Amino acid sequence: MAEKYKKKNPVFVFGLTVLLVSLLYTLIANSIPQIEFRPPEKVKITPDMSQMDLARMGKRY
């Protein structure tokens, strides 16, 4: 096998490969469904709440 070798700049070789591979995975990650999880809001039930307030709270959670 007669391979011709040209000396390459290692910074360029490494840098370009790192950028391209990272870009590829980032693109794939951004092209699939995006789901977030946010913790539910805290429910505070106080003695001065009306029946209507309690019912509204119950509907939300």
Partner 1 sequence: MPDHITLFGISSREILWVFAQLHLNLAAFVIAVPTFALIVEIIGFKTRDKRYDKLAKDFARLITISLSLTSILGAIFLFSIIALYPKFFSYFSQVFSGTMIFYAMLFFGEFISAYLYYYGWDRLKDKKLLHIFIGFFLNIFGIAIMFVANAWVTFMMMPSGVKETGELYSLWSAINNPGWWPLNVHRLIANLAFGGAIVAAYAASNFLSAENENERAYYDWMGYVGNFIAVSAIIPLPFAGYWFGLEIYKYDQQMGITLMGGVLSWLWILQAIIIGVIFLGINYYLWVGMERIKGAERYRKYVPALLLIMTICFIIWFTPHSLVASLEEARKIGATFHPLLSVLGIMTAKNTVVNIMILSTFLSFIIYRRSSKIPNTSWARFGNFIFFSIIAVVAGYIIYLGIKGYYVETTVRINYSMYQVLSVLFVFIVCTPLDIAIYHKSKVIGSIKWGRMPPRSQYMLIVIAVSFTWLMGLMGFARSSSRLNWHVYKIMEDTSPSAFVPSLGYAAKVVSLITIIFFIMIGFIFFIANTLEQRQEEKLKFIQE
Contacts with partner 1 by CB under 8 A lie at 1, 3, 5, 7-11, 13-15, 17-19, 21-23, 25-26, 28-30, 32-39
Residues 60/45, Cβ–Cβ less than 8 Å? no
Q: How far is the CB of 44 from partner 1 (least distance, A)?
A: 14
Least distance CB 57 / partner 1 (angstroms):
20
Helix (H, G, I), strand (E, B) or coil at 40: coil
Tokens of 13: 């070789």
Q: Which one, 26 or 54, has the nearer CB to partner 1?
A: 26
Q: Please, are residues 60 and 40 in contact by the beta-carbon 8 Å criterion?
A: no
